[in-house]
Amino acid sequence: MMSLKRYRLRPLLALFVVAVAFFSLTGSANAEEIYQGNIIPAGTTVENDVILSGDDITVAGDVDGDLFAFGNNITIDGNVSGSIYAVGQNIGINGQVGGSVYSLALSLALGEKSLIENNLYYIGVQFTSSKGSQIGWDMNGVMLSARLGGSVGRDTKAMIGLLELIRFAMDMRTGFPDSSSVIPAVSDTMAQITDAPARTRQAKIVRLSSPVQEEGKRTSGTGNPVADAGTELLRQLVMFLIVGGLLAWLWPDLLNEWAGEVRQRPLSSLGNGFVFYFVGFIALLFMVFLVLAVGWGLFRIQLGELAWIFWGIGFSGIGLGFWLFLALLVFVSKVIVAYLGGLFLFEKIYPQAAGHKVWPLLAGLLIYLILVAVPYLGWFVGLLVTWLGMGAVLIVYRRHASRVEDAVFADQEATAVPAK
């Protein structure tokens, strides 16, 4: 759970850091001690932080500090002792970086002589690392395609391809995956780390639904399949009980309304959930590129300070929206349907306990977790439950929004001054 949370959060935090870093520096952007422009010639060493902007940015010299770059084409052939914060269309890194690289671009390429001593964070379309390139610590990213030929010192956590984004959502039927998991690439030939030096270890590309394996042996677990399955079931049950308990405690009426929507209009909930499921991911991706495009447009009309403020607010809002959507997809949707299933069960065998939310919730979650553990059937049940729960939330939200709108309109009508 912590691994996925860290993986998913870090790229968004990296974007936020880019925005905050630029914004914090724009106030002193005119100060003489900070190097500005769009080129650092070969043989030049800048002993301070650097801010570069323009259509074509070239860093052929060295930077003894952090490098902040915004432009269409960014080429970094020199060495940077600090970290690199870059936003552009095409970014190429061929030198050495003493810190980490935070990048948002259509394409990012690491040359064969490139060395990033710490971490790489990247969100974009195309990523390429040439044979001989090195990342000292971790690689974290979300991209549509990648060709990985360099080495990574520790872990590779990359979601590659739109199909993988959909598969990732489909695989999360029992909550967050195991902490040892790494989000897979579209194919092993498309995203593999080759020719790693002896001091580094190969990044593993595995499926979310499987524990990490090496040379055919399990690297986690007790070795007893029954005990491992029971431990995993208990872990998942505790997570869902925490979320369900909070919903039942803080919003009991809303939980009942969501469950009632699934009971009364299951087909409507299923259809709305199906649309919400796919449109939600597409909308989040669209918002990322929209915020990036608007900020880039502000830069083009010489409103750089406003662009960084817009990026800081925009990416922070997208990050919040993403986590809310993920919580709904992974936990809330399952809790709603499991609670309804528990209610059905207790209404038939023990009606007196149906009024206490904890017992229907516990029974429903146990049944759900057992069903999703069944091969093939579990995948279908998990997806069906997700769509039902998400659809109920969407329908109830629309209903409440309509009531608020009607109430506001009625209040305006009542307080309006009659025309003379």
Cα distance between residue 200 and residue 222, in whole Å: 28
DSSP letter assigned to residue 123: E
Of 10, 283, 278, nearest to 167 by C-alpha is: 278
Cα distance between residue 92 and residue 111, in whole Å: 7
Q: Where are the alpha helices (DSSP H) in 207-265?
A: 225-250, 252-264
Strand, helix or coil for residue 315: helix
β-strand pairing of 145-148 with 213-214: unpaired
The CA-atom distances, in angstroms, between 411 and each of 367, 398, 399, 403, 419 are 47, 20, 18, 12, 17
DSSP letter assigned to residue 80: B
Query: For residue 225, what are the contacts with CB-CB under 8 A and spacing of at least 6?
Result: none
pLDDT at 171: 54
Rounded to the nearest 10 degrees, how much is the dihedral formed by the CA atoms of 383, 387, 389, 394? 160
pLDDT at 162: 55
Is 203 within 8 Å of 176 (Cβ atoms)? no
The ranges of the chain with pLDDT < 50 are 1-9, 12-13, 16-17, 19-32, 172-220
Strand, helix or coil for residue 113: coil
- pTM given for the model: 0.58
Cα distance between residue 96 and residue 101, in whole Å: 11
DSSP letter assigned to residue 154: S
Query: For residue 379, what are the contacts with CB-CB under 8 A and spacing of at least 6?
Result: 170, 173, 372
pLDDT at 3: 39
pLDDT at 130: 92
Query: For residue 237, what are the contacts with CB-CB under 8 A and spacing of at least 6?
Result: 365, 366, 369
H/E element, 81:
none
